[in-house]
Structure 1
Amino acid sequence: MDMRVFTVAGLLVHCVFLISIFDIYFTSPLVHGMTPHQTPLPPPAQRLVLLVADGLRADSLYELDDNGTSNAPYLRNIIETEGSWGVSHTRVPTESRPGHVALIAGFYEDVSAVARGWKENPVEFDSLFNESKYTWSWGSPDILPMFAKGATGDHVYINCYKAEQEDFAAKDATVLDTWVFDNVKEFFNSSRNNNTLFSKLHEPKIVFFLHLLGIDTNGHAHRPHSREYKNNIRAVDEGVKEIVSVIEDFYGRDDNTAFILTSDHGMTDWGTHGAGHPSETLTPLVAWGAGIKYPQRVASQQFEDGFLKDWKLETLKRQDVNQADIAPLMTSLIGVPFPLNSVGVLPLEYLNTSDHFKAESMFTNAVQHLEQFKVKMAQKKKTTLPFLFSPFKSLSDSEQINILRKARTAIQHEKYEEAVSLCKNLISLSLEGLSYYHTYDRLFLGVSVAMGFIGWTFYVILVIIKAHTSLTRNVTMNKVAGSLFQCTFLAVGIFIVFFLAIQSLPWTYYIYCLLPVPIWYAVLKEYPVIQGLITFLLNFQRTQFVGFLLVYTLGIEILVFSFFYRAALSFGLIAFCAWPLVTQLWTKAKTTVLSWILSCLLLAVFPLMPVVGREANLYLVTAAGLLTLLVASSYLVSYFWKSKKNYLHHKDLRIYLFQLLSLVLSTYVVNNTHCSLQSKQGLPVINQIISWTVLASSLIVPLLSPTFLFLRLLSILLSLMSTYLLLSTGYEALFPLALALLMFVWINVEKEAVHLHGVSLNPKLAALNFSNATDITQFRQLHVDDIRRSFFFLFFIVTAFFGTGNIASVNSFDPTSVYCFLTVFSPFLMGGLLLWKVAIPFVLVSCAFEAVQVTTQLSSKRLFLIVLVISDIMALHFFFLVKDYGSWLDIGTSISHYVLVMSITIFLMLLSGMAQLLTTKRLSHWEDMKHHLL
């Protein structure tokens, strides 16, 4: 197959494999077509006030300080005298968007929906706001619009402040919450002079939503144990007190208003959220007002988290809920239909109503869950052949009717506890059934994609053997056998199309099920090559082959293991130290081997360092800048004075002096910016200009430097290191330098290793020029040592990603990393900067590998095929390890692992293109341009 055709086919195949996980694991759980249901009895409240303190931890609200004083005295008084309290257990991802969806819509948003949009609704779902008569909301432009866009009609009103106000460098983020409180007070005051609005405000079934972002912003900027975070809680407490007073005065204290204060997620001690740590998943829930129980005194109570004693709330009954349970609680309070997609279970312990109302509400809740189950079952039954359909046996039609009949009879006979118990059982079975039908096709699709995976990997191996080795030559397939193969696979393809068509399955199913057919046809078509390979293996020395197989199998498993436990990378790097000692390299180049061992050991330290939770350490950032400056200056001086043939002209030296100056400026800007932010003076404009200038020039200045091997690599390192320093806050600033040192040594080691196979290079490394490098495939065929080089390259790429644990999950995002560039919250721009920070070590490894190809006369095309096989074997591991449940850390990590390995083909092609551009191309100096123009 032509290399270009093969490349296109490979890209298409890997794109299909990559997209498949979203059809298999991350399809939306939402179903449509249900009938709304609401409690038939009069509700206890006419209106609801929902206050969401974004990023508020349960312990931060409930705990007392050393003097026995609460951070929120008003809410503490509510807990002790007026309402009910507990902990809302959030289901991760502990992020703002999915947290609010769980609170207001009652369901846990799927990963694909989170990925498709943040501020607006990427999928249609019902919510409390949509079911209300009117909803007025105030707060962040990142949260409010998605509920307004998802609502039917024009009855959800939003009032947002400007996005620019969400500034992590602001002197006090409490102003975000003050803005909300001030606007709510102004709203009620102005409504007295607006008859239309005044009339709407006195309608039943209305909601007021106050989104308070200040606590989250201060937590990110200053950490949850900071004075700013705690002061913000006090400000919110005072603001809630004022709002309650304003609303009660407006309605003449008619006791028809219910209040609920909670949070979308908590926050770790180091100011991040997204994973499943208790500090993120335990959020407060305080409810009071109409329909809410008064405080209940208890002698003792036990909870696993052990916080009650610290909070001094042992005698007040704590009533915990799941976050999605708050939605049905709010709908019951004001008597609107339950959100159609809600999976929440009504927490009856919070209701101060009659037992009849509780039983009817729970019955309605159960019917609403059962509606979802029935629609989901009908959808799956419609797209499955009758003889293949396997129903959820625990909730048959007769069982549904039986439970509903018993529950209704129990309510009629005033056996309310029995009715509630039956309804809870029905809800539990309905949720199990929903999960069953949601994952119904998972095994079928998984097997199809896995077959494609395995076939493609075999095919690439055969391509390598056929085109780039001397194992099989002059072998052709019998024409009769070829025709038989074609007819067989054509028949299989037609059968699959017919099987899918009669079930009316989605078009993507055709791709996943049909793709293995041409892949396996291509594999079996190379039967003579397979025969030749088997013959070769049978004649190969068995002990040597088994040892070779075990070593590389262990190596791949270490790579896979390293995705979960970064320390495995340290183990691998230590193992690399032993490689030259078991070869002839130790006797040929002892100095180079010693440098290799020391460099591997130095880099092995980084995977043992913590990923998240570290405090900023600008001393390490400064040290990284100074060390890079010292190493680069020493090398340039040594190169300039000791080289017999000076490849560095005086005009070229100015490029390096400029890069050294950029390095110094970057080190200064990092320190000055953090000092300015610490003193709450904001981000200096000059620092911001320097940062963006350094970033913009980092990919251009290296193209002005000489293309001689080490001179160009040094220029690339200096430019990228300047940018990396601006994005660093701690020990990770030292990582690119340690990685670059190992890459420089690797180039020298491979030069020595290639001599062992009879390949010699006349010019010295210093004289090798990237611009003169061509594809030298005609020089030699692949040999076993090239597999090791490919493995080393892939190992270093993985180390570049996990060496400091960069974005292994959303939870590792730290806004302080981008403060030299911007402080105003902008998720996409901040994310882009973080992605470039992650990519910088990749670029260093890829550029070094370009040098390895030059020094070892290694074909990049042939190497790419070997890397492709290794990465596909790893991808097959991760395909079966993808998760759609658990913490955001678990889900995000499993997705990122699979996506990273699956994207390795495209990713390495892009990296190779960038590396070739950075190493081989050179822009003319201004003096040269003037000379040519004149």
Structure 2
Amino acid sequence: MNMITFFIVGLVVHVVFFFSIFDIYFTSPLVHGMTPQHMPLPPPAKRLVLFVADGLRADSLFKPDVNGAISAPYVRSIMEEKGSWGVSHTRVPTESRPGHVALIAGFYEDVSAVAKGWKENPVEFDSVFNESRHAWCWGSPDILPMFAKGASGDHIYTQMYSAEDQDFAATDASKLDTWVFDKVKAFFSSAKGNETLLSRLHGEHLVFFLHLLGIDTNGHAHRPLSRECMKNIELVDAGVEEMVSVIEDFYENDGRTAFVFTSDHGMTNWGSHGAGHPSETLTPLVAWGAGVQAAQKVTSQKFDDQFLKEWNLENLKRVDVNQADIAPLMSSLIGVPIPINSVGVLPLQYLDNTELFKAESMYANSIQILEQFKVKMAQKKETTFSFLFTPYHLLTESNQLDFVRQARSLIQHGKYNETISLCNTMISEAMQGLSYYHTYDRFFLGTSVVLGFMGWTSYVILVILKTHASLRKPHSLRDPIVAQSLGRVFLCVGVMITLFLLLQASPWTYYIYCLLPVPVWYSVFKEFGTLADLMSSAPSLPLIKCFGYFVVVILGIELLVVSFFHRAVLTLGLVMLSGWPIISQLYTQAKVRSLSWVLGCLFLSTFPLMPVVGREPNMHLVTCAGGLTLLSSACFLWLSRRHTPLQWRDSHLYIAQMIHVALCAYVLASTHSSLKLKQGLPIFNQIVSWTTLVSSFVVPLLSSTHLFQRLLSISLSLVTTYLLLSTGYEALFPPMLCWLMFVWINIEQEAMTAQGVSAKLELSRIDFSENIDITKIRQLSLDDIRRSYFFVFFIITAFFGTGNIASINSFDPASVYCFLTVFNPFVMGGLMMWKILIPFVIVMCTFETIQVSTQLSSRSLFLIVLVISDMMALHFFFLVQDYGSWLDIGTSISHYVIVMSMTIFLMVLSLMSHVLTSKRIYFGRRRKHALYME
């Protein structure tokens, strides 16, 4: 198999492994075909008004300030006199779309929505709005359309402001909420002169939804404890009071309106959300009006937290719910079917109604969830051989019939409390049964993927031994009869697997996962001769050294795996790496470089100990990073000129790049100062920022291709962009990483000398643009395993050094304020991704340099990296989970995706780094002059 074919096959295999977890762990849990469950009793309310204060956390609403003042006096009066209140517990990710889906549809967002940025519906779903007769919605274009799209009929009406209004740099984002309140007032005012609308508004099963984004926007821009955000909460409170008055006046205080005030997610003190901090997952819930239990005084309450005392609410009954429970609550109040995909449980303590009504409501809730279970069971039964099908033992068909009969009997005999208890038990069992059938094929598919993993890794190891190691020339299976027999055996296995999947009507993706191990393991068995030659060469190998390397690499891989969960482990790894020159005795021949290596590792080891999120912006640290970059670049430039004289053009280019670093440090400080003064993003700063981003790909290609000079230009260009995307200590990370990478390049040269390689290249004479002499390419040695591991370690350090996973999960818009302030998730996400890629590119360019300077084939080292990353990926495959909080689920997915993407991703970065290091752009006469000189 030639190199191109091998990489294509490897790419296909890893893409299959990558997508396998979405079929094994993350297929959509939603099913369709259920019958909506209607409650036979009349509802207490004809209409529901839902206020969602986006980004409002519980303590911001409930907790008095230091002077004892309340930020929302009207809502507080409702809690104390008219309604029920509690904390709504959200799930991670604490983002706007998943929160609204849980609130209004009653289920927790499907994982596949992440790939669409929570902008589109990956699977159409039911909602309270859809079940209503008419629903009117006002607010953000990011939220409202997803509930109108896919709804049955055209009974959901939306009115939205433009996306450009969602500006983090706006003087006052509370205008978004004022816009909503003004539109609602205008709507009810105009309805009085519109007979058609007036008729609809006096019907039943109506919903009014007011999405209030101002608090979230002000929280991001100014922090949730800021004066601007607290003023916005006061504005929302006054607006809610006015809306209640307008609606009650319109309906002449008929007492048939229910009100719900809540939030989709909270926000940290530093103005971000997405993760699982209590400030993000604890949101307020206040309900009042028709059918809602009035405020209840209590003498004591038992909760695990200490919030009641802080909020001065010890004597006011608190009723906590899961966020998805709010959907059945709203459905019950206005008498519409609970959304068919809801997994929420009706919180009865919020209802002020008869025991019969509560029992019937809980019965409808349990039947609605049971319907999902029945459809799920039927789907799985249809695609499984009858003799292989194992039903969920706690909820067989007879058990389901018994439950229905018993529940109806209890209601008829007036045993309502027993009915409610029975329904709660049924809901719990049905939820477990849904999980059982949803994961029914997991073991079968997981086993197939693991076999494919093991086979692929074994094959890559054999390829390394066969083509790149100093063994005797290996042979494949020498007996053609045995080879043919082997082929027939694997062909029969493939046919049997295909027939089995065909008879079960399995999805087409199952064929890929189950059949992939067949050709992979066939290729492994074909290379049996390589293993035989390895065994025959064993006596001549340094077995103790080989075993030592094997143990160290396995322990090193485990250290990297643990670092995904605990970033501080990278600190331990860097401290251990700092001792490499001492262990290998390189310090005896390169004392200065060894000392630089030790200091570089120790300085870099401090970054994984820094907080990932929660830090306040510190422009002084960013300015220091710019100064450090300028100082180190000047020293680097001076050292390189001693070995390789600079041409006039190159020297001016480096000076211009250094001036550009200073300019970008000024632009960053100027931008944040301007935003702090509420003067918006200066257009000059925005132009400089975008120009810097675009030019970072081009400017390095204008510099000399000599090793030191090209690496300097690349570093300056990348660090400059990184500065503009920084808000604190992370700006110091790329300069420190560049320093350590420069030392690594130099110290590897000393390691080559220690190995006795006489044809060592002099670094100052290396020109990336020159063709590599193939005759000087050497075979792999045991020390190259160390180089490959160092590379993987530094790639992981580049990713987790400043905590990029958590930084994205709890995204702080302040990172991109130099480029834009208007909310745009895709542009902002793209900028954050490039910020993450910059340290990667630095490490990749270093690895490219080491391959050239150590005279080693890039394919050789890449194969070792492939084995290391695949061993990590197999480890994470077993750690993927689809239960627990969204934080646990998202973390397990991201870990597997990161490692699985590593090989594919590094192939692309390798190409990018090759272009950045070896290509050069010439203009006009200088191009002719360069050709003449060649």
Q: TM-score, normalised by structure 2?
A: 0.98
Greater CA deviation, 478-487 or 774-783? 774-783
CA distance in 2, matches of 1:763, 1:502: 62
1:578 alignment partner AA: G
Aligned-pair distance for 1:664? 0.8
Could you tell me whether the CA contact under 8 Å between 2:31 and 2:341 is conserved in 1? yes
Hey, what does 2:351 align to over in structure 1?
351
CA distance in 2, matches of 1:741, 1:898: 30
Hey, what does 1:116 align to over in structure 2?
116
CA distance in 1, matches of 2:654, 2:553: 41
Hey, what does 1:443 align to over in structure 2?
443
**1:810-849 → structure 2 map (5 Å cutoff):** 810-849=808-847
Aligned-pair distance for 1:761? 4.1
**1:719-738 → structure 2 map (5 Å cutoff):** 719-738=717-736
Query: How many corresponding residue pairs?
Result: 931
Task: Indicate how the Cα distance of structure 1 residues 113 and 651 shifts in structure 2: closer, same or farther if over 3 A, else same.
Answer: closer
Match among 907, 910, 913 for residue 909 of structure 1:
907
Could you tell me whether the CA contact under 8 Å between 2:95 and 2:264 is conserved in 1? yes
Hey, what does 2:626 align to over in structure 1?
625
Aligned-pair distance for 1:424? 1.1
2:107 alignment partner AA: F
Aligned-pair distance for 1:875? 0.4
Q: Describe the SS at the equivalent of 1:807.
A: helix
Q: Does 1:190 align with 2:190?
A: yes
Could you tell me whether the CA contact under 8 Å between 1:808 and 1:893 is conserved in 2? no
**1:554-565 → structure 2 map (5 Å cutoff):** 554-565=555-566
Task: Indicate how the Cα distance of structure 1 residues 129 and 223 shifts in structure 2: closer, same or farther if over 3 A, else same.
Answer: same
**1:778-817 → structure 2 map (5 Å cutoff):** 779-808=777-806, 810-817=808-815
CA distance in 2, matches of 1:66, 1:604: 40
- CA deviations 1:67-98 (Å, max 9, x no partner) are 22211000000001111111111122211111
1:318 alignment partner AA: R
Q: Describe the SS at the equivalent of 1:253.
A: coil
Aligned-pair distance for 1:356? 1.0
Hey, what does 1:505 align to over in structure 2?
506
Hey, what does 1:590 align to over in structure 2?
591
CA distance in 1, matches of 2:806, 2:46: 47
Hey, what does 1:274 align to over in structure 2?
274
Hey, what does 2:487 align to over in structure 1?
486
2:623 alignment partner AA: T
Q: Does 1:253 align with 2:253?
A: yes
CA distance in 1, matches of 2:500, 2:776: 48
Q: Does 1:42 align with 2:42?
A: yes
Aligned-pair distance for 1:759? 2.2
Task: Indicate how the Cα distance of structure 1 residues 155 and 476 shifts in structure 2: closer, same or farther if over 3 A, else same.
Answer: closer
- CA deviations 1:830-856 (Å, max 9, x no partner) are 000000000001111111111111211
Q: Does 1:523 align with 2:521?
A: no
Could you tell me whether the CA contact under 8 Å between 1:808 and 1:896 is conserved in 2? no
CA distance in 2, matches of 1:653, 1:542: 52
Could you tell me whether the CA contact under 8 Å between 1:493 and 1:514 is conserved in 2? yes
Aligned-pair distance for 1:933? 13
Q: Describe the SS at the equivalent of 1:88.
A: strand
CA distance in 2, matches of 1:680, 1:891: 39
Hey, what does 1:853 align to over in structure 2?
851
1:372 alignment partner AA: Q
Q: Describe the SS at the equivalent of 1:231.
A: helix
Task: Indicate how the Cα distance of structure 1 residues 183 and 548 shifts in structure 2: closer, same or farther if over 3 A, else same.
Answer: same
Aligned-pair distance for 1:545? 3.4
Could you tell me whether the CA contact under 8 Å between 1:809 and 1:892 is conserved in 2? no
1:588 alignment partner AA: Q
Hey, what does 1:466 align to over in structure 2?
466
Could you tell me whether the CA contact under 8 Å between 1:373 and 1:434 is conserved in 2? yes
Q: Which runs of 4+ in 1 moved over 6 A?
A: 930-934
Match among 680, 683, 694 for residue 682 of structure 1:
680
**1:421-460 → structure 2 map (5 Å cutoff):** 421-460=421-460
Task: Indicate how the Cα distance of structure 1 residues 333 and 921 shifts in structure 2: closer, same or farther if over 3 A, else same.
Answer: same
Q: Describe the SS at the equivalent of 2:88.
A: strand
1:529 alignment partner AA: T
Q: Describe the SS at the equivalent of 2:137.
A: strand
Aligned-pair distance for 1:888? 3.4
Q: Does 1:15 align with 2:18?
A: no
- CA deviations 1:603-630 (Å, max 9, x no partner) are 1111111111111111110000011111
Aligned-pair distance for 1:638? 4.3
Task: Indicate how the Cα distance of structure 1 residues 474 and 692 shifts in structure 2: closer, same or farther if over 3 A, else same.
Answer: closer
- CA deviations 1:464-518 (Å, max 9, x no partner) are 1011123241534111110111011001000100111111010000000000000
Task: Indicate how the Cα distance of structure 1 residues 927 and 695 shifts in structure 2: closer, same or farther if over 3 A, else same.
Answer: farther
Could you tell me whether the CA contact under 8 Å between 1:121 and 1:147 is conserved in 2? no
Greater CA deviation, 847-856 or 706-715? 847-856
Q: Describe the SS at the equivalent of 1:119.
A: coil
Could you tell me whether the CA contact under 8 Å between 1:882 and 1:894 is conserved in 2? yes
Hey, what does 1:573 align to over in structure 2?
574
Aligned-pair distance for 1:809? 6.2
- CA deviations 1:796-854 (Å, max 9, x no partner) are 11111011111346423211000000000000000000000000011111111111112
Could you tell me whether the CA contact under 8 Å between 1:105 and 1:128 is conserved in 2? yes
Task: Indicate how the Cα distance of structure 1 residues 311 and 768 shifts in structure 2: closer, same or farther if over 3 A, else same.
Answer: same
CA distance in 1, matches of 2:849, 2:387: 61
Could you tell me whether the CA contact under 8 Å between 1:493 and 1:517 is conserved in 2? yes
CA distance in 1, matches of 2:419, 2:411: 6
Q: Describe the SS at the equivalent of 1:394.
A: coil
Hey, what does 1:702 align to over in structure 2?
700
Could you tell me whether the CA contact under 8 Å between 1:777 and 1:858 is conserved in 2? no
1:379 alignment partner AA: Q
CA distance in 2, matches of 1:255, 1:800: 61
Greater CA deviation, 689-698 or 88-97? 88-97
Aligned-pair distance for 1:382? 0.8
1:804 alignment partner AA: T
Aligned-pair distance for 1:276? 1.7
CA distance in 1, matches of 2:505, 2:545: 53
CA distance in 2, matches of 1:712, 1:497: 54
CA distance in 2, matches of 1:75, 1:671: 40
Hey, what does 1:205 align to over in structure 2?
205
Aligned-pair distance for 1:436? 0.8
1:799 alignment partner AA: T
CA distance in 2, matches of 1:878, 1:409: 50
CA distance in 2, matches of 1:170, 1:294: 39
1:559 alignment partner AA: L
Match among 662, 680, 683 for residue 664 of structure 1:
662
- CA deviations 1:528-569 (Å, max 9, x no partner) are 112222344466455433322211111111111111111111
CA distance in 2, matches of 1:229, 1:302: 31
1:718 alignment partner AA: L
CA distance in 1, matches of 2:598, 2:865: 24
Hey, what does 1:607 align to over in structure 2?
608
Hey, what does 2:671 align to over in structure 1?
673
Q: TM-score, normalised by structure 1?
A: 0.98
Task: Indicate how the Cα distance of structure 1 residues 777 and 198 shifts in structure 2: closer, same or farther if over 3 A, else same.
Answer: farther
CA distance in 2, matches of 1:382, 1:396: 16
Q: Describe the SS at the equivalent of 2:804.
A: coil
Could you tell me whether the CA contact under 8 Å between 1:810 and 1:889 is conserved in 2? no
- Where do 5+ consecutive residues of structure 2 fail to align? none
Hey, what does 2:898 align to over in structure 1?
900
Aligned-pair distance for 1:635? 2.7
CA distance in 2, matches of 1:443, 1:6: 30
Root-mean-square deviation (Å): 1.6
Greater CA deviation, 801-810 or 58-67? 801-810
Q: Describe the SS at the equivalent of 1:799.
A: helix
Aligned-pair distance for 1:586? 2.0
Q: Does 1:329 align with 2:324?
A: no
Hey, what does 2:749 align to over in structure 1?
751
Could you tell me whether the CA contact under 8 Å between 1:31 and 1:372 is conserved in 2? yes
Could you tell me whether the CA contact under 8 Å between 1:24 and 1:441 is conserved in 2? yes
CA distance in 2, matches of 1:112, 1:818: 26
CA distance in 1, matches of 2:370, 2:135: 28
- CA deviations 1:198-232 (Å, max 9, x no partner) are 11111100100000111111111122211111111
CA distance in 1, matches of 2:205, 2:625: 60
